[in-house]
Structure 1
Amino acid sequence: MDRPTVLVPRQHVAIGGHGPEDVVADARGRVLTGVDDGRILRIDGLTGPAAARVEVLAETGGRPLGLELLPDGDLLVCDAERGLLRVGLDDGVVRVLADSVAGERLRFCSNAVALCDGSVYFTVSSRRYPLAHWIGEVVERTGTGRLLRLPPGGDTPEVVLEGLQFANGLAPAADESFLVVAETSAYRLTRFWLTGPRAGHAEPFAEDLPGMPDNLWRGRGDGPIWVALAGPRVPPLNLLHRTPPAVRRAAARAAVRAPYRPTGTIGVLALDDDGRTVHHLTRRGSRFRMVTSVCETDGHLILGSIWERGVAVCERPAK
């Protein structure tokens, strides 16, 4: 697909919290998200005629980012301050599954997936910059992002892939033969093989994306991988990325001190398991900015944003 189509908003819904960075839909069409004061929220009725209902399910005590619903009804949470968490949605109990790897504190966990064999894979976006200074990682491109694995029933994660440029969203292949990892500051998606002759190896899945990929989401096993584009391509930033490390480091120091406001250009992609674009939706001049996540429910797309105080409901394109 070469030409993008327009991303059509239906409504913006305030949720009583700031920065719903990731959104995921459960089997009943309700949307879960985490906000910057540590609360995990569930939103019901987003696509219906009545006002949406928001309930607080838990408080992580940190800053929840990526979410993953588990088959038993619990929720995996990547918390930028506390590490990888498991949250009971019935009782609100929060349990730390991992807060360090090889003696190093996990301070910027980003996204997680749970596979059928019970293993959990999750990303760390940067080993140099915390969430509050995420723009420093985008500018400097330290290549310190990681993909980690927590074995079934284990409590000690292992590093399976490193050297990633702002490792972010994760999604499995329909048959779980590989994972797709978003590298935000490199405008690309990377495939990490889990089975077959290339198991343990990484290769490009989709490159030269029209924007910075953030969270990924896959609903039905045969559905597409939805990709949130947190921002459009920035030509001056592309030029900066070609400069020596010392220049990028100095620019990053300036960037983390400067005020930031995202552009009004937003977008999402949908890709199949061969890395082909099924849908490319974009909108300029959007009032809803910095789309960091997207999920599908009840024939609509729900957009999350680390910048906004609510979520956006958009029309889903025809099949």
Structure 2
Amino acid sequence: MTSFVFIISLLLLSLSSAVFSDDANFTKLPVPGKRSGPEAFAFDSTGKGFYTGVSGGKILKYVPDKGFVDFAQITKSSTSSWCNGVGGTALAKKCGRPAGIAFNSKTGDLYVADAPLGLHVISPAGGLATKLADSVDGKPFKFLDGLDVDPTTGVVYFTSFSSKFSPWEVLIAVGVKDASGKLFKYDPATKAVTVLMEGLSGSAGCAVSSDGSFVLVSEFIKSNIKRFWIKGPKAGTAEDFTNSVSNPDNIKRIGSSGDFWVASVDNKVVVPTDPKAVKVNSDGKVLQTISLKNEFGNTLLSEVNEFNGHLYIGTLTGPFAGVMKL
């Protein structure tokens, strides 16, 4: 959910929405109304459609024969007309701005890391989200970003991009190379939040391995991905996983294969360039790189998520979700 050029990305929104691909395997799914930024995706047990969070604090469900429909909202204000018209993090304190989302496949609960408003959960019926936590040990989260649910235990792992700067101060955080990001875990059984890692430089995304042995955490600012061990002889320790992915954002596991997709851009120039999907294995080796320049221009990608032979591609400010057939 980050970029050296967050503000410039907003200005480029009209440009990115005008990019057309002649690839028959790529489909645009426009976000309804004036909302934008389908940032992350989640898939329920039915496998019919997907869920995504957008600006203004709404969670939308995409149903193939209906398109996007309202599923849930972070705050009571999220359904108001003035929240419907906001983009990015404008009015996020009132409306909410969902970032990372993931289902507990066993309970059907949808967990949401809302950037300014904290960790939330939504029941299988949808509706108004329930706030679970907005601080730990008396310290506000400040700027939540990535989230994943351990498929073996139901424990929730989530990140804060920064513990000093708010989402609307992202340019400052990146400019000063902030390293106050953290990795947390939330245990639904005890309702306790625990800090697992500190000192992360733009911890944008996280993903638990299919066997629940470790969780990966991206460091957007440092172009690095770390691994925190949950089980085994290294449990409780962290190590560098790979620095072969430029400016990694969200990370998503690919079923039970042991591989992961990472959303990536190159921010070494004035604007983010060369958006791409990068597949890595459990050893951090890059297996595949797919350029998405033709489909997204210089838009900042936020997530690449594989489901049923398709890649679901999200952006921070873009007006559509992209779906690419593999």
Task: Give the TM-score band, short-chain normalised.
Answer: 0.7 to 0.9
- TM superposition shift of 1:223: 5.0
* Residues 7, 315 of structure 1: 8 Å contact kept: no
Distance 1:195 1:114 in 2: 15
CA distance in 1, matches of 2:259, 2:48: 17
CA distance, structure 2, for counterparts of residue 77 and residue 280 of structure 1? 28
Q: Say whether the 8 Å CA contact 1:265–1:285 is kept in structure 2.
A: no
Which SS does the other structure have where 1:293 is aligned? strand
Instruction: Supply the distance in 2 between the matched residues of 1:43 and 1:235 (Cα, whole angstroms).
Output: 35
Please say if 1:232 is aligned against 2:258.
Answer: no
- Cα shift readout 1:142-174 (whole Å, capped 9, x = no counterpart): 210001122342233121110001112111122
Structure 1 residues 24 and 279: CA distance shift in structure 2, 3 A: farther
Q: Is the 8 A contact 1:29 1:297 kept in 2?
A: no
Aligned to 2:139: 104
Aligned to 2:206: 170
SS of corresponding position for 1:89? coil
Distance, in Å, in 2 between the alignment partners of 1:273 and 1:158 is 25
**Post-superposition shift, 1:286?**
4.3
Q: 1:127 aligns with which of 159, 163, 186?
A: 163
In the alignment, does 2:61 pair up with 1:42?
A: yes
RMSD between superposed Cα atoms in Å: 2.2
Pairing 1:268–2:277 present: yes
- Tell me which amino acid in the other structure corresponds to 1:266: P
Alpha-carbon displacement from aligned partner over 1:178-223 (angstroms, at most 9, x marks no partner): 11111111111101011122111111111142x2111111241225
Per the alignment, residue 56 of structure 1 pairs with 70
TM-score (norm 1): 0.81
- Mapped contact 1:7–1:283 kept (Cα < 8 A): no
Aligned residues: 279
2:101 aligns to what? 67
Structure 2 alignment gaps of length 5 or more: 1-20, 76-95
Question: Of residues 19, 26, 44 in structure 1, which corresponds to 2:37?
Answer: 19
Write the letter of the residue equivalent to 1:267: K
What is the Cα deviation at residue 30 of structure 1?
1.4
- Using the aligned pairs only, state the percent identity: 28
Distance 2:241 2:197 in 1: 15
Distance 1:219 1:55, change over 3 A: farther
Offset from partner CA, 1:109-130 (integer Å, 9 cap, x none): 1122222223222111101211
In structure 2, distance between residues paired with 1:164 and 1:228: 18
Match of 1:31 in 2: 50
CA 1:30/1:140 → structure 2, altered by over 3 Å: closer, same or farther?
same
Runs (4+) of structure 1 moved beyond 6 Å?
none
TM-score, normalised relative to structure 2? 0.80
Q: Partners of 1:295 and 1:233 in 2: how far apart?
A: 22
> Which digits, 9 at most, give the CA deviation of each residue in 1:246-294, with x for residues without a partner?
xxxxxxxxxxxxxxxx545210111111111121111335445211011
Aligned to 1:82: 117
Give me the whole-angstrom Cα distance separating, in 1, the residues matched to 2:312 and 2:48: 11
Give the SS at the match of 1:265.
Answer: strand
Q: Residue 41 of structure 1 aligns to a residue in which SS?
A: strand
Contact 2:100/2:148 (8 A) holds in 1? no
